[in-house]
Amino acid sequence: MQISDKLYGTFKIHEPVLAELIDCHAVQRLKGIQQYGLPPEYSNNGNFTRYDHSLGVLLLLRKLGASLTEQVAGLLHDISHTAFSHLTNAILGTSLYTDLQDQRHEAFLLSSEAAPILRKHGYDPRHIADLKRHTLLESELPELCADRIDYTLRELLHHERPIDLEECVERLAVHKDRIIFTEMEMAAKFATDYLYVMAEGWASIEKTVRQHFFIHAVQTALDKDIISVDDLFEDDAHVLDKITRTKNPTIRASLQLLTSGFRLEEDEREPQLSLPRDFQYVDPKFRRGGRIYSLSKTSPGFAQMVDRQKDLHRKGVRVRFLNSTGLLRRIKC
């Protein structure tokens, strides 16, 4: 099997376990799930799929010399995502930032067709599903990991940031089962660009507002039995087909607001809409002179940048709409 990726190039996959897993329904389903939840027609910019990301994580781990076991775990790490990715957390009534996907990952993998493929090739599905065992694949923020690096680089492709993606990957290395950079300059560039795509991309003010109205539309569809929780375990298109055909006025107004566009201005004193705003950052480690350093401990400027961004996001989203007032009255949220 040969697979090509816009970040890492073309790879030949000789291992039967990887080839069979890539072709199985549990992985192929991810082609229909957007990485950041919002379908393209309701977002203000492009996106990429969980399938793109899962293959990317596999290939990045491969470039870093990870074991085949960890490559398998990387390929499968997102198979438990529902339609609309992390937005489903809020749709089901929990915090948008509660990681339900990780909580149900093992049960989902064990019940999927990936499990017998793993057993056939001598792998314990429970071991593969235990993401804490795979430290190159997953680590706690603000550390680097293959998952975090891959989705950031894909986001940078969309934003056309000037970072040299190939050079960035080449400056990655493994130290004591953790991913580090081989120089401070690239560590600083990556960490700064991560802040940028967080603040201007998936945690931007407009994206946060768009997520709010889309979540409300899907929640309404659940409340009115237009869709079921089981539908959310299919893919984005399956659920969208049901909610876009409904005549429910709240749902129709919410989706129309997202497609027709709206204009916002920040209003601290009398906002029409107040929402929490996500904040994340990475603090890469890098090698210099045979020693390992954290960027925040060696770059006061970066540490200050993180603090400023954190304070900004702590205020949340407080906005007023400059148009679309008729639609807002019909949405009632």
- Cβ atoms of 210 and 43 within 8 Å: the answer is yes
With b for 16 or more beta-carbon neighbours within 10 A and e for fewer, the 131-150 pattern comes to beebbbbbbeebbbbbbbbb
Query: For 9, which DSSP code?
Result: E
Structure confidence by residue, pLDDT tens digits, 235-268 = 999 999 999 999 999 999 999 999 988 999 999 9
d(CA 265, CA 268): 10
Peptide bond into 116 cis (omega under 30): no
For the chain, which domains are there?
2-203+278-314 (1.10.3210.10), 206-277+317-331 (no CATH)
CA 113 to chain centre: 24
Other beta carbons within 10 Å of 93: 8
Phi/psi at 221 (nearest 5 deg)? -60, -40
Give residue 333's pLDDT.
57
- Positions of the chain with pLDDT under 50: 96-97
Residue 235: Cβ-neighbour burial (10 angstroms; 0-12, 13-18, 19+)? buried
| Alpha carbon separation from 234 to 184, 230, 231 (Å, rounded) | 43, 7, 6
Give residue 332's pLDDT.
67
Sign of CA dihedral 44, 46, 52, 58: negative
Give residue 100's pLDDT.
63
With b for 16 or more beta-carbon neighbours within 10 A and e for fewer, the 106-122 pattern comes to bebbeebebbebbeeee
pTM: 0.94
Give residue 282's pLDDT.
98
